[in-house]
Amino acid sequence: MDAVVLRENGTPRLVDRPRPDPGPGEALVRIDRVGIDGTDREVLDGAHGDVEESMVLGHEAVGTVAEPNGTGLETDETVVPTVRRPPGAYNEYFRRGEPDMAPMDATVECGIDGADGFMAEYVAVPSEYLVPLPDRLAPYGFLVEPLSITAKALELASASREPFTWDRDRALVLGTGSLGLLTVPVLAEQFDAVYCLGRRDRDDPGVELAIEAGATYVDSRETPVDEIPEAHAPMDLVVEATGHPPHAVESVAALAPNGVAALLGVPEAQTTEVDLGAFHRELVLGNRAMVGSVNAGYTHFERAIEWLDAMPASVRSAFTEHVYPVEQFEAALDSDVIKAAVEIGP
C-alpha cells in the first residue's frame, strides 16, 4: 500500500496507489517527510495550474534511496528532490542545468503545476534531480528546498552588487512565514545586523524564533517598511518573502544607497497609487537594485544543505516541532505553526 496525498477537484485526499517502477536513469525513493508551505495552500486554492487536475501534492521532500536502479546512488542514501522537470522534451534550460531559469511555460513543477509531487510513500525520480544529504540532517531535510529558494535569491542579489564593494551591514527580511524565518539565521551569519518584519505580536512563536535566530523584530503595524530607515537604519539587503504587492516599491525606500531588494513572494494583482518618480529616482541616484527570483537549481540545494548544517541546533529544531503523521495531512495543511510537515516513512 502506498499512501498518497492527492489533490482531486481541489480537495486533498489520502489514496492507495501502486508503487512506481523506476525507469532508466530513475531511482526509487522512499519519502520520509514532506514540508508544507504557502504554495501548497495556493495549489489547493487553484493559484497554480489546473485545480481540477489530479496531482500528488508536496514539493519540499526528503527521502532515502530504496532502489538505486543503476543510477550511481546508493541504497539508503538520504536525498532531496529538486522541483522542476522538463515539460515533455528537454529544452535549453534543462540542457544547461538551469531549470530554475526556465520561463513558466518551459517547465513543470512537481506538486505545484503539471507534475506529481512527493507526498507519497515512494516516488521514482531521475537521479539528476536528487541531491544527496548527510544522514544526520535527514530529519531536517524537508527544509532544504525552501532554503534553496533563499540561496538562489542571495546569489542573484550578491551578483548584482559584485562590481563594487558592497557593505553587508544590515539586512531585512519581510515576513515571518517559514521562508522568512528560515532566511533569518542565514543572513545572521552574513550581515552585522538582521531585522525581520511581520505583523504578529511579540509573543508569537515565529517572532520569538526570529529573535532567537538573531533578528531585531519590526512590527509592521507600528513601523511600515518605508519608515524602517528612520526608525532603525537603511538596509543593504531586503528579502521580500510575503508577496504583499506594495512591498516591491516599499523595499526600495528601505534600502541604503547601493542596496538590493530580492523579491521571492508571488503576489496577486493590486492597483495602488505610487510615486513612481521617487521610486525610479531612489533606484538611480542610490545605485540601488531589485532582483526577482523563483525556484532554485542543483547548486542552490547544495548551498542550502551547507547552511542547514551550519544552523544553530536550537533554531533548526524549531522548524521540526510540528511533524504530523500522513493520516493527519489535513491538520498539517491547515496549521498555522512555524513550519508543518507530514511524515510518510516508517
Phi and psi angles of residue 21, each rounded to the nearest 5 degrees, phi first? -95, 120
**Measured between alpha carbons, how far is 254 from 232 in angstroms, rounded to an integer?**
10
158 versus 320: smaller Cβ distance to a second copy? 158
282 versus 330: smaller Cβ distance to a second copy? 282
| H-run or E-run covering 290 | strand 289-292
**Measured between alpha carbons, how far is 34 from 86 in angstroms, rounded to an integer?**
22
The count of chain residues that interact with a second copy, using the rule CB under 8 A, is 57
233 versus 333: smaller Cβ distance to a second copy? 233
Please, what is the minimum distance in Å from the beta carbon of residue 182 to a second copy?
A: 17
106 versus 333: smaller Cβ distance to a second copy? 106
Please, what is the minimum distance in Å from the beta carbon of residue 40 to a second copy?
A: 17
171 close to 256: Cβ distance less than 8 angstroms: no
Binding pattern to a second copy, positions 129-158, x when CB under 8 A? Answer: --------------------------xx--
DSSP string, 122-156: EEEEEGGGEEE--GGGGGGGGGHHHHHHHHHHHHH
Which listed residue (263, 305, 326, 341) binds a second copy by CB under 8 A? 263
Q: Is 107 a residue that touches a second copy (CB under 8 A)?
A: no
- Find residue 124's DSSP bridge partners: 28
Window 266-305: residues binding a second copy (CB under 8 A): 266-294
| 283 CB-contact burial (10 Å; exposed 0-12 / middle 13-18 / buried 19+) | middle
Phi and psi angles of residue 34, each rounded to the nearest 5 degrees, phi first? -135, 125
156 versus 211: smaller Cβ distance to a second copy? 156
Phi and psi angles of residue 85, each rounded to the nearest 5 degrees, phi first? -135, 155
Please, what is the minimum distance in Å from the beta carbon of residue 251 to a second copy?
A: 10
Window 173-232: residues binding a second copy (CB under 8 A): none
Binding residues (CB under 8 A) for a second copy: these are 96, 98, 100-104, 155-156, 159-165, 240, 243, 245-249, 257-258, 263-294
